[in-house]
């Protein structure tokens, strides 16, 4: 989930409710075209919504890959979209953080039932916030009640003013503490970026290393994910990459590629290849013992506003479960920030996966947000429901 785009959706929920009858919130069952043609059609459908650039990759059970692109990587030059271009991982990094936490739990170095105060005494307090009542499990599952209050921009003027701001994790948590919790711990569900900032701080306390270093040592290097790179406070991305655009309103499409993400401790650039490989390895049991993977897949319902984005979705520990139109469910964690919106998915056995990255966030209206989300969700659904292996 994005920190900027989704904030726009929450603000506009009253309007979105009125539009619900007009906005498609369920994907249609795939039929007809072979998988490679379906993927091409789905990327073109995203571009037809007005999204500047789209790249998608599907990996079949036999390991064969299908790639499709549409649109342009640069609206000024018309440069084509690279099939292996970098983009900002954004909230998909929550799956990385959760995996590290569960590995530490498997090693006996922490417990999911540990309180925040056990690791970070006095950090979560004030305005009704109480770290002695919040567990690591609740942080992972967004059931802590901690208010989602990270800095962000909703206009082009705010983007230009804030794009190079750098915040420490303590500053980000302090912003959340300035607000009362959304609900008592364990008594609701609300997406909380500050909760994952706290998890990064706990990982550092437990290991003595920054969370990005633990992610590199425990996940990226063992899996050979050399196209996933921590960008930290750098405002730039590795090449090649499509320029990222944000639609703030009619006539206000802004190149927002140059910026430092708010939570730079887990700021990564990645590719569709690496996101596929990450999810496949995770669900195939290559990163977690069976008990910890089962814990990760224990889900709860998400809130009503997020149900508009993830119809039928449920949240585990840094992992989202969503239904497939062909039956069963798949696992994912989308990400969106800095102009890039990415959806992904993998079947329960880790054998078939898909990822689509869009280099434009159409966050100006509820219709645009929901239409972009639904079309990308349809691409993932078609790819995972495809009958038979795709061809490269």
Q: What is the pLDDT of residue 31?
A: 55
Pairing, β 353-358 against β 340-347 = antiparallel
pTM, rounded to two decimals: 0.91
Distances (CA, A) of 390 to 58, 162, 329, 335, 384: 8, 43, 20, 25, 10
Nearest Cα neighbor of 338 from 236, 252, 249, 212 is 236
Q: 145 in the Ramachandran plot: left (φ > 0), alpha (ψ -120 to 50) or beta?
A: left
Residue 18 belongs to what H/E stretch?
A: helix 13-19
pLDDT of residue 363: 86
Q: Give the pLDDT score at 34.
A: 81
Q: From residue 55, how far is each of 39, 58, 358, 377 by CA, in Å? A: 10, 11, 7, 14
Question: What's the chain's length in residues?
Answer: 392
Q: What is the pLDDT of residue 4?
A: 47
The highest-level CATH class for domain 5-385 is alpha beta
Q: What is the pLDDT of residue 3?
A: 46
Per-residue model confidence (pLDDT) at position 388: 39
pLDDT at 26: 40
139 sits in which H/E element: helix 136-141
**pLDDT tens for each residue of the chain, 392 residues long:** 444 444 544 433 333 333 333 333 344 444 567 889 999 999 999 999 999 999 999 999 999 999 999 999 999 999 999 999 999 999 999 999 999 999 999 999 999 999 999 999 999 999 999 999 999 999 999 999 999 999 989 999 999 999 999 999 999 999 999 999 999 999 999 999 999 999 999 999 999 999 999 999 999 999 999 999 999 999 999 999 999 999 998 889 999 999 999 999 999 999 999 999 999 999 999 999 999 999 999 999 999 999 988 999 999 999 999 999 999 999 999 999 889 999 999 999 999 999 999 999 998 889 999 999 999 999 999 999 985 333 32
| Residue 205: φ, ψ to 5° | -65, -40
- The answer to whether residues 93 and 197 touch, using CB atoms and an 8 Å cutoff, is no
């Amino acid at each position: 989930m994005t920190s900027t785009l989704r904030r726009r959706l929450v603000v506009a929920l009253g309007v979105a409710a009125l539009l619900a009858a007009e906005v498609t919130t369920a994907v249609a069952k795939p039929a007809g075209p072979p998988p490679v043609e379906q993927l091409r059609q789905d990327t073109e459908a995203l571009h037809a919504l007005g999204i500047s650039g789209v790249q998608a990759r599907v990996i079949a059970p036999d390991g064969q890959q299908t790639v499709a692109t549409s649109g342009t990587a640069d609206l000024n030059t018309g440069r084509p979209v690279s099939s292996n271009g970098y983009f900002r991982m954004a909230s998909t990094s929550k799956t990385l953080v959760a995996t590290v936490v569960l590995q530490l739990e498997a090693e006996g170095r922490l417990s999911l039932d540990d309180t925040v105060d056990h690791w970070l005494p006095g950090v979560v307090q004030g305005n009704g916030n109480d770290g002695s009542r919040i567990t690591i499990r609740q942080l992972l599952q967004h059931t802590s009640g901690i208010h989602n209050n990270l800095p962000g921009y909703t206009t082009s003027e705010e983007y230009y003013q804030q794009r190079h701001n750098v915040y420490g994790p303590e500053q980000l948590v302090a912003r959340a503490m300035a607000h009362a919790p959304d609900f008592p711990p364990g008594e609701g569900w609300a997406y909380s970026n500050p909760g994952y900032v706290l998890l990064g701080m706990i990982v550092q306390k437990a290991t003595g290393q920054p969370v990005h270093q633990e992610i590199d040592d425990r996940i990226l290097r063992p899996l050979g994910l050399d196209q996933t790179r921590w960008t930290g406070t750098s405002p730039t991305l590795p090449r090649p990459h499509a320029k990222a655009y944000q639609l703030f309103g009619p006539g206000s499409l802004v190149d927002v590629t140059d910026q430092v993400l708010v939570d730079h401790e887990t700021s990564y650039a990645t590719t569709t290849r690496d996101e596929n490989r990450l999810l496949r390895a995770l669900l195939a049991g290559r990163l977690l013992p069976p008990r910890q993977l089962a814990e990760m897949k224990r889900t709860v319902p998400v809130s009503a506003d997020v149900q508009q984005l993830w119809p039928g979705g449920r949240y585990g520990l840094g992992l989202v479960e969503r239904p497939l139109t062909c039956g069963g469910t798949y696992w994912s964690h989308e990400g969106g920030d800095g102009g890039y919106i990415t959806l992904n998915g993998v079947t329960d056995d880790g054998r078939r996966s898909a990822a689509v990255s869009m280099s434009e966030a159409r966050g100006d209206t509820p219709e645009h947000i929901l239409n972009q989300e639904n079309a990308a969700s349809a691409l993932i659904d078609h790819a995972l429901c495809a009958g038979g292996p795709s061809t490269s």
